[in-house]
């Protein structure tokens, strides 16, 4: 079986790690440079690849046009989610709880939205943001948007959590436990799986993610980031792909998210059930490879990328 992942980053490479032992020949395609990569390799094989893929998926939702769009699974979901405006509208349409929000066009003042939503706003570019990039905190009148954005009420959450799950082509869904995520400067630095008191929110988080996957008829792994407000969960954003807060599953679960995604998009059976052991994931951000990390008890996952400040270059999973 031959599959393709659009995108040439670590998420696809980690699918490549799993592919071999499932008998899947996995290629990756960079839609920006038009180069093909094989398996986990970070050096391109060239600018031609096989043409007879059995299926095509992606590791990110914002994609330029590619030669594979005609057969790309979940394309409509990518197009919807890659723009925060229709994404937020979807939550409202489905009656799912999310941080209160409004639209903010290029050149528009945030004053009215600030007055309406509270004392602090988080303004986010509609497209292209990740790791907290493309965001502005607004607490004073006078802010004028320099991009097409949405503005959200700043939520005084008690913590951030997320849920990762999978939906098969037959509509069957499986979920990992709710996990707790710690961010620094907008970047995920640590995930605790399960989150302390995960049980409190498991059903509600599954309801939210399950509703989204079913409505979109999505096939594969999806994640939802949530603000835990003590008495309620609010959706922050969704990611129609494997997600950093699911990386712990490589070492802490019977089947990891990368394998689940491959199995779903390839039309292979999903497992009967997911099981797991308590695991902590620590991101490696902007640092050089240091083999002293191995002296602990964690499992080091190095992405073979050049370290740059703020760049995710690996993670360590530790069974607790």
Q: Which parts of this chain interact with ligand ATP (CB under 6 A)?
A: 99, 122, 124, 129-133, 152, 154-155, 160, 183, 186, 225, 236-237
Residue ranges binding a second copy (CB under 8 A): 13, 17, 20-23, 39-40, 251, 254-255, 259, 263, 268-273, 275, 277, 289, 291-292, 294-304, 314, 318-319
The residue (of 4 and 235) whose beta carbon lies closer to ligand ATP is 235
How near is the Cβ of 155 to ligand ATP at its closest, in Å? Answer: 4
Nearest residue to 101 (alpha-carbon basis) of 113, 87, 119: 113
Nearer Cβ to ligand ATP, position 236 or 279?
236
53 vs 227, beta carbon nearer ligand ATP:
227
Q: How far is the CB of 228 from Mg ion (least distance, A)?
A: 14
Kindly indicate which of the ranges 73-81, 156-164, 170-178, 233-241 contains the residues binding Mg ion, using the contact rule CB under 5 A: 233-241
Do 2 and 51 meet the contact criterion of CB atoms below 8 Å apart?
no
Which of 296, 301, 295, 297 lies closest to 283 in space, CA to CA?
301
- Which residue, 39 or 132, is less far from ligand ATP as judged by CB? 132
Question: Measured between alpha carbons, how far is residue 59 from residues 1, 109, 114, 155, 195 in Å?
Answer: 19, 35, 35, 29, 25
> Choosing among Mg ion, ligand ATP, a second copy, none, which partner's interface includes residue 194 (Cβ < 5 to 8 Å by kind)?
none
In 3D space, the residue among 232, 233, 214 whose CA is nearest the CA of residue 222 turns out to be 214
Q: How many CB atoms within 10 Å of residue 309?
A: 7
In the list ligand ATP, Mg ion, a second copy, none, the entry touching 300 (Cβ below 5 to 8 angstroms by class) is a second copy
Shortest spacing between CB 284 and a second copy, in angstroms: 11
* Cβ partners under 8 Å of residue 183, min gap 6: 132, 160, 189
Binding residues for Mg ion, total number by CB under 5 A: 2
Of a second copy, Mg ion, ligand ATP, none, which one sits near residue 160, judging by CB under 5 to 8 A according to partner kind? ligand ATP
Choose between 96 and 122: whose C-beta lies nearer to ligand ATP: 122
Q: Which does 152 bind (CB under 5 to 8 A by kind): Mg ion, ligand ATP, a second copy, none?
A: ligand ATP
Task: Tell the smallest beta-carbon distance from residue 36 to ligand ATP (Å).
Answer: 26
* Closer of 185 and 272 to a second copy (Cβ): 272
Nearer to a second copy, 3 or 298 (CB): 298
- Cα separation values, 262 from 56, 166, 245, Å: 10, 10, 18
| Least Cβ distance, residue 169 to ligand ATP (angstroms) | 26
With tokens 């270059």, the residue in question is 313
Residue 99's binding partner among ligand ATP, Mg ion, a second copy, none (Cβ under 5 to 8 angstroms by kind) is: ligand ATP
Which residues does residue 133 pair with via DSSP β-bridges, in sequence order? Answer: none
Instruction: Indicate which of Mg ion, a second copy, ligand ATP, none lies near residue 269 (CB less than 5 to 8 Å, by partner kind).
Output: a second copy
**Residues making contact with Mg ion (CB under 5 A):** 225, 237
């Amino acid at each position: 079986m031959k599959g393709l992942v659009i995108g040439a980053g670590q998420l696809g490479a980690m699918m490549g790690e799993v592919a071999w032992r499932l008998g899947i020949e996995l290629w990756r395609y960079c839609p920006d440079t038009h180069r093909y990569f094989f398996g986990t390799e970070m050096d391109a094989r060239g600018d031609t690849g096989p043409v007879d893929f059995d299926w095509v998926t992606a590791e990110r939702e914002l994609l330029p046009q590619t030669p594979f769009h005609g057969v790309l699974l979940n394309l409509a979901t990518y197009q919807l989610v890659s723009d925060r405006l229709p994404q937020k509208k979807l939550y409202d349409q489905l009656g799912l709880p999310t941080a209160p929000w409004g639209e903010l066009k290029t050149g528009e003042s945030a004053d009215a939205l600030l007055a309406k939503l509270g004392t602090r706003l988080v303004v986010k570019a509609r497209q292209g943001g990740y790791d907290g990039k493309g965001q502005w905190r607004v607490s004073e009148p006078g802010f004028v948007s320099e991009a097409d954005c949405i503005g959200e009420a700043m939520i005084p959450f008690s913590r951030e959590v997320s849920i990762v799950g999978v939906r098969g082509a037959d509509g069957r869904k499986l979920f990992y436990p709710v996990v707790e995520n710690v961010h620094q400067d907008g970047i995920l630095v640590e995930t605790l799986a399960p989150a302390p008191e995960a049980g409190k929110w498991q059903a509600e988080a599954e309801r939210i993610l399950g509703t989204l996957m079913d409505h979109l008829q999505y096939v594969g792994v999806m994640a939802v980031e949530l603000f835990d407000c003590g008495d309620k969960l609010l959706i922050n954003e969704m990611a129609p792909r494997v997600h950093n807060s699911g990386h712990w599953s490589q070492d802490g679960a019977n089947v990891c998210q990368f394998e689940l995604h491959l199995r779903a998009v390839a039309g292979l059976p999903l497992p009967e059930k997911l099981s797991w052991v308590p695991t902590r994931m620590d991101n490696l951000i902007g640092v050089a490879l240091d083999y002293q990390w191995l002296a602990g008890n964690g499992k080091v996952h190095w992405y073979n990328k050049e370290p740059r400040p703020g760049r995710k270059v690996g993670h360590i999973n530790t069974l607790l």
